[in-house]
Protein backbone atom coordinates (compact mmCIF):
# COMPACT_ATOMS: atom_id res chain seq x y z
CA UNK A 1 0.00 0.00 0.00
CA UNK A 2 0.88 3.63 -0.28
CA UNK A 3 3.18 5.04 2.36
CA UNK A 4 3.31 8.49 3.87
CA UNK A 5 6.22 9.40 6.10
CA UNK A 6 6.78 12.25 8.51
CA UNK A 7 9.96 13.68 9.93
CA UNK A 8 10.78 14.10 12.70
CA UNK A 9 8.66 11.67 14.65
CA UNK A 10 9.26 13.58 17.85
CA UNK A 11 10.63 17.03 18.58
CA UNK A 12 11.15 19.03 21.73
CA UNK A 13 11.87 22.73 21.43
CA UNK A 14 12.06 25.86 23.51
CA UNK A 15 9.30 28.41 23.52
CA UNK A 16 9.79 31.01 20.80
CA UNK A 17 11.62 28.79 18.35
CA UNK A 18 10.32 27.54 15.02
CA UNK A 19 9.89 23.89 14.12
CA UNK A 20 9.58 22.36 10.66
CA UNK A 21 7.75 19.10 10.07
CA UNK A 22 8.03 17.23 6.79
CA UNK A 23 5.41 15.03 5.16
CA UNK A 24 6.41 12.84 2.23
CA UNK A 25 4.50 10.53 -0.02
CA UNK A 26 7.01 7.77 -0.65
CA UNK A 27 5.62 5.88 -3.62
CA UNK A 28 3.04 8.15 -5.15
CA UNK A 29 2.56 11.78 -6.07
CA UNK A 30 0.21 13.98 -4.13
CA UNK A 31 -0.86 17.36 -5.41
CA UNK A 32 -2.86 17.77 -2.23
CA UNK A 33 -1.94 16.90 1.32
CA UNK A 34 -3.75 17.60 4.56
CA UNK A 35 -2.40 18.64 7.95
CA UNK A 36 -4.18 17.67 11.17
CA UNK A 37 -3.57 18.41 14.81
CA UNK A 38 -4.56 16.05 17.57
CA UNK A 39 -4.52 16.89 21.27
CA UNK A 40 -4.36 14.07 23.82
CA UNK A 41 -7.49 11.92 23.92
CA UNK A 42 -9.12 14.04 21.27
CA UNK A 43 -9.97 13.63 17.64
CA UNK A 44 -8.08 14.83 14.61
CA UNK A 45 -8.75 18.42 13.70
CA UNK A 46 -8.04 19.52 10.16
CA UNK A 47 -5.74 22.53 10.10
CA UNK A 48 -5.13 23.14 6.43
CA UNK A 49 -5.03 21.76 2.93
CA UNK A 50 -1.62 21.89 1.29
CA UNK A 51 -1.70 22.42 -2.46
CA UNK A 52 1.26 21.84 -4.73
CA UNK A 53 1.98 24.97 -6.70
CA UNK A 54 -0.42 27.22 -4.85
CA UNK A 55 -1.19 28.59 -1.43
CA UNK A 56 -2.47 26.40 1.33
CA UNK A 57 -6.08 26.63 2.41
CA UNK A 58 -6.50 27.07 6.14
CA UNK A 59 -9.47 26.05 8.24
CA UNK A 60 -11.31 28.63 10.26
CA UNK A 61 -9.46 29.57 13.40
CA UNK A 62 -6.04 28.37 12.21
CA UNK A 63 -3.48 31.18 11.94
CA UNK A 64 -1.75 30.98 8.59
CA UNK A 65 1.16 33.13 9.79
CA UNK A 66 1.63 30.80 12.72
CA UNK A 67 1.50 27.56 10.76
CA UNK A 68 3.37 28.02 7.50
CA UNK A 69 2.76 25.39 4.86
CA UNK A 70 4.87 24.85 1.79
CA UNK A 71 4.08 22.17 -0.78
CA UNK A 72 7.51 22.11 -2.37
CA UNK A 73 7.01 19.19 -4.72
CA UNK A 74 4.56 16.47 -5.63
CA UNK A 75 5.91 14.33 -2.81
CA UNK A 76 6.70 16.83 -0.07
CA UNK A 77 4.74 19.21 2.12
CA UNK A 78 6.19 21.00 5.12
CA UNK A 79 4.49 22.53 8.13
CA UNK A 80 6.46 25.12 10.08
CA UNK A 81 5.22 26.08 13.50
CA UNK A 82 6.62 29.56 13.99
CA UNK A 83 7.43 31.02 17.39
CA UNK A 84 6.13 27.91 19.07
CA UNK A 85 4.56 28.13 22.51
CA UNK A 86 3.56 25.41 24.99
CA UNK A 87 -0.04 25.50 23.79
CA UNK A 88 1.22 24.39 20.36
CA UNK A 89 2.35 21.12 21.87
CA UNK A 90 0.37 18.47 20.06
CA UNK A 91 0.47 15.51 17.71
CA UNK A 92 0.66 16.71 14.10
CA UNK A 93 -0.44 14.30 11.39
CA UNK A 94 -0.43 14.66 7.63
CA UNK A 95 -2.34 12.73 5.03
CA UNK A 96 -2.25 12.36 1.28
CA UNK A 97 -5.01 11.02 -0.96
CA UNK A 98 -4.75 8.69 -3.90
CA UNK A 99 -7.18 8.55 -6.76
CA UNK A 100 -10.84 9.16 -6.12
CA UNK A 101 -13.53 9.23 -8.74
CA UNK A 102 -16.83 10.84 -7.88
CA UNK A 103 -15.74 11.40 -4.31
CA UNK A 104 -12.83 11.39 -1.92
CA UNK A 105 -9.92 9.18 -2.74
CA UNK A 106 -8.46 6.93 -0.10
CA UNK A 107 -6.25 8.91 2.20
CA UNK A 108 -3.08 7.60 3.69
CA UNK A 109 -1.92 9.04 6.94
CA UNK A 110 1.59 9.64 8.15
CA UNK A 111 2.76 8.28 11.49
CA UNK A 112 2.51 11.69 13.13
CA UNK A 113 4.96 14.08 14.78
CA UNK A 114 4.84 14.66 18.51
CA UNK A 115 5.74 18.30 19.24
CA UNK A 116 6.54 19.35 22.78
CA UNK A 117 7.24 23.01 23.44
CA UNK A 118 8.93 23.76 26.73
Binding-site ranges for another protein (CB under 8 A): 4, 6, 31-32, 34, 42-46, 49, 91, 93, 95, 97, 100-112, 114
Distant-in-sequence, close-in-space partners of 108: CB < 8 Å, separation ≥ 6 = 1, 2, 3, 4, 25, 95, 96, 97, 98
Q: Are 35 and 47 in contact (CB under 8 A)?
A: yes
Q: Which is nearer to another protein, 30 or 81 (CB)?
A: 30
SS3 category, 86: helix
CB of residue 26 to another protein, shortest distance in Å? 14
Q: Which is nearer to another protein, 79 or 97 (CB)?
A: 97
Q: Which is nearer to another protein, 70 or 91 (CB)?
A: 91
Taking the C-alpha atoms of residue 81 and residue 35, their distance in angstroms, rounded to an integer, is 12
CB of residue 21 to another protein, shortest distance in Å? 13
CB of residue 69 to another protein, shortest distance in Å? 14
Q: Which is nearer to another protein, 17 or 72 (CB)?
A: 72
Residue (of 45, 48, 25) closest to 98 by Cα position: 25
Amino acid sequence: GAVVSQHPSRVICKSGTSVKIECRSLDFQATTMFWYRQFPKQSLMLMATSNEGSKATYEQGVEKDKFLINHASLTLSTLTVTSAHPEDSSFYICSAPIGGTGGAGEQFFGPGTRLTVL
